[in-house]
Structures are given as C-alpha cells and as structure tokens.
Amino acid sequence: MPPPFDLHLARRPRRLRANAALRELVRETVVRAADLILPLFVSEKITVRRPITSMPGVDQLTVAELVQEAASAWEVGVRAVLLFGIPTGKDERGSGAYADDGVVQQAVRALKKAVPDLLVITDVCLCEYTSHGHCGVTECGEDGDFHVLNDPSVELLARVAVSHAAAGADLVAPSDMMDGRVRAIRSALDARGFTNIPIMSYASKFASGFYGPFREAAEGAPQFGDRRTYQMDSGNAREALREAATDVEESADMLIVKPGLPYLDILWRVKEKFGLPTAVYNVSGEYAMIKAAAEKGWLDERTAVMEMMTSFKRAGADLIITYWARDVARWLTEQ
C-alpha cells in the first residue's frame, strides 16, 4: 500500500536533506572569501607585534608586519582589509589622524606597493588619535559637562578621509557617527579629485557593550563620559533607518551595520530598504566571546563561526567585516 498523499508531501524536507551534495545543491545562502573584510591594527608605538589579550589571535602590528599579514590573507582569498591606526602621540584634535606621515597613511602606501590588488579600506575616525578618546573634538561646557562638537569634528574627519585617499586608500569608512560627515567627506574628496573613492559609512552604529576588546586593541577608550551622545540606542530600529537614510542621501556608496549578531534585524531592514551594498561588522566582543568559549571547549569555533557568517549573509549582508576573515577563507577552501 503506498502511503497516503499527504505523507509524500510531508517527507519533502527530509528528502532534500538526505546527503551533503543534496544539501549543498539546495542551500540558499553561501559565504565566499570575497565577501570578507579583515580589520587590522597598525601601531606606530611598537617594534614588534603586540598581542591583544582580549582578542586571541589578533595583534597590533608594525607596518612591515601588517604588509605580511595582509599578503597572507590575500593568499587564502581575502580581498579587502580595514585599517585602524595607533599613533605614538595623541592630542585634543587628533592631528595624527590626518598627518601625511601618520601611521595609517604609511601603512596604506606600503600595502598598495606590496599587494597592489588588495582593496585597502581605512577607518575614518578620531578616537584613536584624541587624548580624550572621543570620536570628535570636545569642549567642556559651563555645566561642567563635556560635549562633542559636531561641526568642527566633521571638518577634521573630512581631512582624515582626504589624507587616506592621498596615501592610496581605495575606500574610506567613517565610523565616528557625527551628523553630516558623509556629505562633508564626499565634497572634500571630490574637491581633491578623488571622485572615484567610495564611502562606506557606518550608517547604523549602536552604542554597544560589544566594543570592549576593540578599545584595548585600538587604545581608543574614552577617558571620560561615553559615546551615547553620538552612537545609537540599542532599542531604536526606526532611528537606525533614519540614520541610514541620511547617509544614503548624503551619497554614501555602501552602508555598515554594527555590531552584527545583536542587530541582525537592523541589517535586514537596512538592506531591504536601501538595497545598497551592505556590510555587517562582526565586532570585537562577538569575536572574544566565541574565542573564550572555544578555549574552554564549550563550543566548536569553526562550526559556530561558519554558522554566524551564514546568518549575516542570510540577514542581508553582502560583506562581512570580521577578525576571522583569514580563518573563514581557509575553512572555505578546505570544505
């Protein structure tokens, strides 16, 4: 007796999962090495790599080490890096961020020379360069409270972007969250003839507990106050869309949602609404927590990471900024 018709139907899901080849054939979401962006930290303060305790496997690098690291990433299929710099000196206005011979500018030149086809993206922000550790210029008001001054900060950020482009950066990524900075950066780039350098903007960047390890890595923790006056409140999804809309209107070419895991809904909505190339930033805290659990043997790193990468793409990410970029690229070829 053949089974009743509804049982034929009911068995369809299982039939499509019967073996690995079949599962592969019907898989909707795939991660590719070319989707990955590797963040790297280059420091002017060191002569040899310095491990970041809260991010096992990630180090602060000298320019020469950075070039090696980027070249080895390129070899396994990673096509893009995102640079953060740690300068020797900091000041109120973060002048190291827009110095022609600043550490990021030096690194960009060295990278473009050694690995010319590698896409070099630079983080455009002031927090690693200001003595107070904020992403913009600050002032102490009469109330004794400090304020981040939006417009003077934007002016400096535009200078940072231009100096990165002049050093040879392929793409600039402003992460400061000041208002109007995308427009200011676009005009400044255009005025200097860098009309073809795209802006990948951190459109929806939330004030997050998941940035902790990064602040050790980039030595950019605020010395007073926090970033809640310019980064977004984690409860606000509609505001995230408004922030993204502003950046799109100001001519951002690509958008970033950050952090990743706790904000997959935002990622989905930003992608659906604007349809621009959208990146997700799988931030330092997300890295640290899986590393720590894996070290204890509480979960399998590779399985968890690949699942997480797939979830980013499923939620709409075209690109994934991740400290695992090299491992993921390698795992993909081993599959």
Catalytic residue among 90, 205, 271, 313: 205
Overall residue count recorded for the chain in this entry: 335
Residue from 123, 170, 219, 243 binding ligand PBG (CB under 6 A): 123
- Residue 273 annotated in active site: no
Is residue 215 packed enough to be buried (19+ CB in 10 Å), middle (13-18) or exposed (0-12)?
A: middle
Which contiguous run of DSSP H or E holds residue 209?
none
Structural contact between residues 160 and 124, judged by C-beta atoms closer than 8 angstroms: yes
Does 284 interact with ligand PBG (rule: CB under 6 A)? yes
The reply to whether 261 sits near ligand PBG by the rule CB under 6 A is no
Chain CA centroid to CA 324, Å: 12
Helix or strand run (H / E) with residue 186? helix 181-191
200 touches ligand PBG (CB under 6 A): no
Give the closest residue to 280 by CA, choosing from 220, 204, 213: 204
**Residue number, 133 or 198, with CB nearest to ligand PBG:** 133
* Contact set for ligand PBG, span 128-157 (CB under 6 A): 135
Q: Is 163 in the site for ligand PBG (CB under 6 A)?
A: no
Tell me whether residue 33 or residue 283 sits nearer to ligand PBG (CB atom).
283
Asked whether position 175 contacts ligand PBG by CB under 6 A, the answer is yes
By CB under 6 A, the count of residues binding ligand PBG is: 12
One-letter amino acid at 145 equals D
The residue within the footprint of ligand PBG, chosen from 74, 129, 211, 331 (CB under 6 A), is 211
Rounded distance, CA 281 to CA 257, Å?
6
Contacts with ligand PBG by CB under 6 A lie at 123, 125, 127, 135, 175-176, 211, 214-215, 227, 283-284
Known catalytic residues are 205, 258
